[in-house]
Structure formats: structure tokens, C-alpha cells
Structure 1
Amino acid sequence: MSALSTQENHPAEPLVDIGVNLTHPSFASNRQEVLQRAHDAGVRQMLLTGTSIAESEKALALCHELDPSGSSLYCTAGVHPHDAKDWRADSARQLQQLLQESRVRAVGECGLDFNRDFSPRERQQAALEAQLQLAAETGLPVFLHERDASQRMLEILKSVRDHLCNAVIHCFTGERQALYAYLDLGLHIGITGWICDERRGTHLQQLVRDIPAGRLMLESDAPYLLPRSLQPRPRNNLNEPAYLVQVLYDVARCRGESPSALAAHTTACARRFFSLH
């Protein structure tokens, strides 16, 4: 039985998942099946996340391999703050080449992570600033990661915002002050299954009401962040794009909207933001 079988209906409007880590090894043996389940659940377009030069190249290759027609799979290309320690003199050149590809629709995942500090903070900031410069030069939007670093992130973004076409804070998990500051900068907000977590996501259930329609997008961040409200839970405990429907239902409930209305405006927003067909 599917973990989604408890939902009476799938949304009438198609969904766009703006963050899928399809290059993750857990998907290596069943990517086609994962995509089919997503399609059956109503998730019709996806952005595959690039987190390093090598992973961005893999994401691009998967777009061509799994969606030859170019109608459903797109990707980002960038260097995650965890991998910023590997940013080298030629990284900007390599990334710039990837950003010329038609399937690449955003710069990132890039940003700051002062929670785990897998890369030194100065290296994270240097890599982020270099990628924001590439976004300004190419005219592509930015797919941003931020953990426990909103103050520094805002300082950097304020200095370059006028040169960026658009940016989204992917998997927003912060507090009210950070949300309002990002919205004041004209940024978009991505919401994941974090909001479905009764242990740490309850504050988002209030905050998500304050995100204007047209600035809100949904994402699975699969295989991470399996929605804890999903029943029954999959035996492998891994998230999939198909489970974005659970995020949709929880966000709709928190916002006092119908799932179809939420699907309609978040899909329209994602298609505008990433210039999807």
C-alpha cells in the first residue's frame, strides 16, 4: 500500500518540487520508479539540486537521461556551504560553464551554514559571494541554503540584491525576524516537510501564514525530511518527491487554504521563478 493512500484525493493542480536530491545514492537503483510515483501523485516538474561541481554535473546528466523531452526535470548548479572548503580558483569557471546549460535554472545550492560548520566560515562566505556574482552575470535566480546564519546572510544579500533577478531561501526553518527580513528583500521562501515535524517545526505552522502567495514554493528535499505526519510511513524511512503532497496538505491547513488553491499558486510561483515550461 502506498504511503499516500490515506489522502482521499491528489490536488487538482500539478505540483512543482523545487528541491530534490536525486543524485543521492539512495535513489541509484530506482530513480525511474521514484519519478513515476511522483508523477502519479501529481508532482509533474522537479528541480534536481546541485551541491558541488561534480554533483551539479550529475544532476544535469540525470535531467537529460531521465527526461529527454525536457518537460519535467531541471536542475540547479552550485556549491553547498558544506563543500565550500573545496572551492578553488577554477571553480567559478567550471560553474559558469554549467550555468550556460538550458536545463540549469538556478545558481546553487549555495549559502551559509553556521550550524554544522563543515567548511570554515570565511570559505563559505567567499564561495557564496562568488556564486552571487555569477548569478548577477548570468541573470539566473539563486537557490540559497541558510542555517543559523541569517544575520550574515542578510548582510551579504543586501549588498548585492539589486543585481540579482531573484532568490529563494530553500528549506526555510528560521524564526519570524529572519522570515520578515528575507521577505523585505523580495526573496522567495521554500517550505519542506520540516513543517510536518511536531518536535521542531511547529513555529513554522504559524509563520507560513505570513508568506504572501506568489512568494511561497514547496519542496521535498528528498531523500531528507520525510514528513513525520505521513501515514503510513514508508518502510525505508526515506523521503520521495511523491510525498510532497503531504507537505501541501499540511501547509494548506496551516494557511487556511484549500490544497488545490495552494497547489495552484505555489506551482505558478515556481514556474515563474525558474522559467519552467
Structure 2
Amino acid sequence: MTTSAVDSFLPEALQFRSGAPLVDIGANLTHESFQRDLVDVIARAKAANVTTLIVTGTDIEHAELAVKMAQQVPGIYATAGVHPHDASGWNSDVANQLKALHQQPEVVAVGECGLDFNRNFSTPAEQERAFEAQLALAIESGLPLFLHERDAGQRMREILHSWRDDISEAVIHCFTADRETLHGYLDLDLHIGLTGWICDERRGHHLRSIVKDIPLERLMVETDCPYLLPRNLPAKLKGRRHEPALLPWIVREIAQWHNVTETELGAVTTRTAQRFFRLDAET
């Protein structure tokens, strides 16, 4: 690893290294902002001891790109699903393409799928149709679910409750909701993914008071990069693009509010992610 491109991009104050290997369960590395320097982004993640990256597939195109990336780079895996924003395009051809992707060994979860009643780029009815179709695909494949929910907690819980006996495991990725919604998901025996949202004093402050409600064995960590750059970083980042190398900072913030050490939180969330996504523990 050279120093020029890899180390100099992040100011020294942002070059964190986790005391335990970390799994970033939600990295949008197929985003166009990573095209110019993906090799360096991955190298910086490794230097930060973020050893495993789950690259999110939000539609057929990006899922296929994620699979190709996983085939080329050790320590990278993919998910494959249709985001609720794109649910209006759901049809039998999309379903068949997803079904084929779910057979690829690099694909470790169905999703990102779910409900988003905040923006409603697709109607709620279209979202529910695509979501339940993907729940059926998860049952067929046996894969766990990588779920998106925003402003749709009650309906999400209702749907998942009716399917819960048939699906395997599921994680609510990038959880941002309130205590009631959190406990509803925990009552369904779901996992919770936390991002740098907890570092945002404007929108995520409420998470600090409820993070201890999440059992450590139900918790996983993620960047959701290039989005959700933590707002409380100790130095400014040129371009403000989030990346996996900053995951240790998010772990530090979560650990503080969960009242455990960073290393303990990192170790337990990594074990949970390895078990959830059925990864080789040596990865």
C-alpha cells in the first residue's frame, strides 16, 4: 500500500484503526463517486481494520456490479434486491433476474428492500407488492434479508409479523426511528444496523438514548457510504464523501452510548455479522 493516494486522502485526524476487525454491512461502493479511486478506498478500509465489506445491491444493475466486485476482491460480498424507491418497476423479469442473482455464492442477502413512506418515489401499494415478492424470494433462497424502512415502521412490522415464521433472519439497516419502533423490531427477533446517523446532533441525537436497548448480539454497524458522513468528525473531509475507512469512528460513537469499549463493540458486531451473513470467520 502506497502512502500518496491511500494515506494522504484522509487527514491524519481521520485515519482511525479499529482494535477489532470490522464488517461494514452496508457500503454503496457501486456508487459513481467511487469509480475514480475504488482501489484506494478499499485499501484505506483495510488499513482501518475494516476487513469485510457488504456491497449493497439496490436494483439489478447495481446488484450485478456488486457481485462482479465481490468476485474480484477478497473480503467483499454483495446483496441483491430492489429498493422501495424503485418498486414501481417490479415485474416478473426483475423477479427472475433477482432469483438468479440470489444463487450466486457472492450474494449473502436479499435486499436492499422494504418500505419508504418518507419520499414515496413509488406508491405505498407498489412498495408493498415488491417487498412481499422479495420476502418470498428470501424464503425460496434461504438468504437473510437486508431491509430498508423509513417512516413506515408500523406497516413494516405488520408485514414482517405475517411472514416471520417463514423468513430466516433480517436486519433493519440504517435504523433511524424511535424507541417504540426499535422494540417492535426486536420483538420480531430482528437485527439492527446503525450508521453515522447517531453522530448527527440534528437528526440522530435520539438514538443515543436508546442504543443501549439493542442487545449487542442483535447489533451490526455500517457506513451506508457515500451517504451519511458523520457530522462530528474531528477534521473536515474534502468532498464530504463517506467511505468504509471511517467506520471505526461510528463504532467509537456507538460504544460510548452503549457503555462498552470500542474493541468489545467491534468484536461482537463482527461476530454477529459473520454469523448473520454466513461468512467465513477468517475473512
Give the TM-score of the pair, scaled to structure 2.
0.94
1:11 match: secondary structure = coil
CA displacement 1:172-215 (0-9 Å, x = unmatched)? 00000000000000000000000000111010011111100110
Are 1:101 and 2:104 matched, yes or no? Answer: yes
1:45 match: secondary structure = strand
Are 1:199 and 2:202 matched, yes or no? Answer: yes
Which of 214, 234, 254 does residue 251 from structure 1 map onto? Answer: 254
Are 1:11 and 2:29 matched, yes or no? Answer: no
Shift of 1:231: 1.8
Are 1:83 and 2:91 matched, yes or no? Answer: no
Report if aligned partners of 1:4, 1:243 keep a CA contact under 8 Å in 2.
no
Shift of 1:137: 1.1
For 2:184 and 2:169, locate their aligned partners in 1 and report how far apart those are by CA, in whole Å. Answer: 15
Shift of 1:11: 2.4
Which of 118, 121, 125 does residue 121 from structure 2 map onto? Answer: 118
Cross-structure match for 1:39? 46
CA displacement 1:106-127 (0-9 Å, x = unmatched)? 0000000000001111110000
For 2:94 and 2:134, locate their aligned partners in 1 and report how far apart those are by CA, in whole Å. Answer: 10
Give the TM-score of the pair, scaled to structure 1.
0.96
Aligned CA-pair RMSD: 1.2
Cross-structure match for 2:63? 56
Shift of 1:7: 6.7
1:236 match: secondary structure = helix
For 2:30 and 2:75, locate their aligned partners in 1 and report how far apart those are by CA, in whole Å. Answer: 16
Shift of 1:3: 4.3
Shift of 1:4: 6.4
Cross-structure match for 1:180? 183
For 1:9 and 1:75, locate their aligned partners in 2 and report how far apart those are by CA, in whole Å. Answer: 25
Shift of 1:86: 1.0
5+ residue gaps, structure 2, are 1-7
Q: Which amino acid aligns with 2:101?
A: L
Shift of 1:8: 8.9
Residue 8 to residue 113, structure 1, CA distance change in 2 (3 Å): closer
For 1:125 and 1:83, locate their aligned partners in 2 and report how far apart those are by CA, in whole Å. Answer: 12
Cross-structure match for 1:226? 229
Shift of 1:61: 1.0
2:238 match: secondary structure = coil
Percent sequence identity is 52
**Where do 4+ consecutive residues of structure 1 move more than 6 Å?**
none
